[in-house]
Amino acid sequence: MEDPLAARALAARKFAKLTQRQAEEHSGVRQSDISKIERGETVRPSGLVQLARAYRCDPIWLVTGEGRAPWEEAALPRSSDITGERDGPYRVTRVPPPIPFYRPGTPGTV
């Protein structure tokens, strides 16, 4: 029988589009421990909160399965929730400087 925690951990990592090595870099949880969690070989795995943060999902959902999965539409944050901007087809996050760009004392500028 498949471990539900293992299935949720694997699904959340795949949804976050991370390899186990990338998840290790983002969470600090060793890749071998992530592999054990996803195979269901741990009884009470540690590091689930760090993995939930790396996978951008609710840690309670990851541990218990209660609440919304990260791919459910209501669980996805809207841009207005993050920035206070109204919804639109796109938003500008950074305006590049005019070319050529020069700032005295800054390496890599013309």
What was the pLDDT predicted at 49? 87
Could you tell me if residue 103 is inside a domain? Answer: no
Domain-embedded: residue 102: no
Count of structural domains within the chain: 1
User: Does residue 17 fall inside a structural domain?
Assistant: yes
d(CA 76, CA 78): 6
83 belongs to a structural domain: no
User: Does residue 36 belong to any structural domain of this protein?
Assistant: yes
Residue 16 belongs to some domain of the structure: yes
| Least confident range of 42-51, 65-74, 76-85 | 76-85
Asked whether residue 97 is domain-assigned, the answer is no
Select, from the ranges 50-54, 65-69, 89-93, the one with the highest average predicted confidence (pLDDT).
50-54
Q: How many helices (H) and strands (E) does the chain have?
A: 6, 0
List the domain range (segments joined by +) for residue 62. 4-67
Whole-angstrom CA distances from 63 to 66, 83, 101 are 8, 29, 50
- What's the mean pLDDT when you consider all of the chain? 76
Going by pLDDT thresholds of 50, 70 and 90, the confidence category of residue 2 is confident
Residue 79 pLDDT > 60? no
Q: Determine the Cα–Cα distance for residues 83 and 26; give it in Å rounded to an integer.
A: 23
